[in-house]
Chains A and B, each alone.
Chain A
Amino acid sequence: MNASLSGRAASLYTMLALGYAFLYLPIVLLVIYSFNASRLVTVWGGFSTHWYAELLHDDKVLDAAWLSLKVAVVTATGATVLGTLASVLLVRFKRYPGSTLFAGMVAAPLVMPEIITGLAMLLMFVAMEQTIGWPAGRSMTTIVIAHITFCLSFVTVVVRSRLAQMDMSLEEAAMDLGARPLKVFLVITLPLIAPALMAGWLLAFTLSVDDLVISSFVTGPSATTLPIVIFSKVRLGVSPEINALASVFVAFVGCAIALGGTLSRKQD
């Protein structure tokens, strides 16, 4: 009986190992090969941090990374502000004309194919430039606007569920004790949903850093984000430098997710 039990445990661990391997083996390989001394991506030539050094001297990549970072910060902040306002409207003001339509339209970009969102955005920017002269050309501004548009939905989903869980009598109690509605929002509601705001911000940040499809539609020659650079480099063949870049990327996103996880655990 003991033997069969441990046998079962062993098979369970095997399944678990296979599952993790399926999910993370490619990433692990990518990180390992980023330390490959050889120029050939798939042939191991000894350990080296050469490609990381190379990366540091590649201005094109560094500029793109810097731009991506700026875009992501502005996007995450904008999407969090707008998404929070949308959530408050959806959760606290249930009865107004068009509320169902609004709820549907806020969530729509979640299921909209990115390629369609990107194309639609591009068409809108071109039409706007022709009629009101703004935005002039495709630049960081257009990327940020497009990113806020689709990140907003994700933030709304996160913040909305937190807000819906919150006991409404807390806000009523604050009002009952003499706080005006704006004060109630700032002093009671915001601190209580803050973890969700942070989680939403981080989610929007990662989505923005990661986005390729929408960015490539609305970008111009002056604004090349990191995913665009990586994608264009890969088309010319995978260089170990890309592996190094991707490893940095993975580390960065991993940290962001860990931080988000810690914050959302802290909220209870």
Chain B
Amino acid sequence: MSARLEAEHLYKVFGRRPDEAVERLRQGADREELRADGTTAAVIDASFTVEPGQIFVVMGLSGSGKSTLLRMLNGLLEPTAGHVRFDGQDLTAISDRELREVRAKKISMVFQHFALFPHRSVLENAAYGLSVQGVPRVEREKRAAEALELCGLAGWEKSWPDELSGGMQQRVGLARALATDADLLLMDESFSALDPLIRRDMQDQLLELQRTLKKTIVFITHDLNEAMRLGDRIAVMRDGRIVQTGTAEDILLRPAGDYVASFIQDVDRSRVLTAGAVMDTDIRGDEADCGCETATPETPFTELCAISARLSHPVAVLDAGRELVGVVPRQRLVGLLGDERGEAPACDRGEKVIARA
């Protein structure tokens, strides 16, 4: 299956003579050199692909260029160089009118500060995209009401945005994006303005919706935990460049460079890792024959620890066809929690050490 969304060597430079700046960046100039000339390189040579139904998270600190990158995907900002392909169509090459058409029908967006129209009711807000498309009133109100219901806002249609809490407002924002039936959702730090508990709720709800709707989502965040929770794939940005792209496990287990490594220190690994990511694939073949409890590659880390605690030997990992694919020794589980990947050397005294709490 071909990629739904493809970004190809995207550059965005603000300031004078942007093309010249891109040329210098290609030849290896760095961001600071350009800044001295008064030009700002917001995004430098960003490439990635997003498969249909995937949540692709772009993670980076503020100023890393992630919002600029997102805005190039639906043409709110025109790339200085590079291409964006969506469903095979090059969005950088089409006319304004066609671009508006794509935005109205195929790509919708959810904003950090909700960006609800204060002069429209909740229902009218949710129906906004449809009214832009010229969908007749009765139909668009029906579809908007459905989208609101999907986001858990049934019964709030007649309210006004400022009467809602932040979390509810963002649900309206999400409903507005879903109502148009767009395939691609761009979410710009959509949950960052919410307090932590509400943010958890919203993340859960997004994952829940995603199970049934199977949208393609590009999600921007500065919070690596959020990235790990939501992302099928994650791109880490630093100073305008994508420094690593991969799954949550890739990034946790094989961080590309010190920058990413320093980032992942604070991540709660137990929520991210699964048996498939941590298992040892170097197997003898008979580990599962004892009839004890086994795990699957999708088994979460915490559950794996529980199983391991009940067994005296490494946990066997079986795939869907009950074939043995790997084993997880307890020492590896402990090592991952302590961020220690080395093999344990033999102890000098060769005695058991009992830790006392």
Partners in one complex: no
Query: Which A residues contact B (CB, under 8 angstroms)?
Result: none
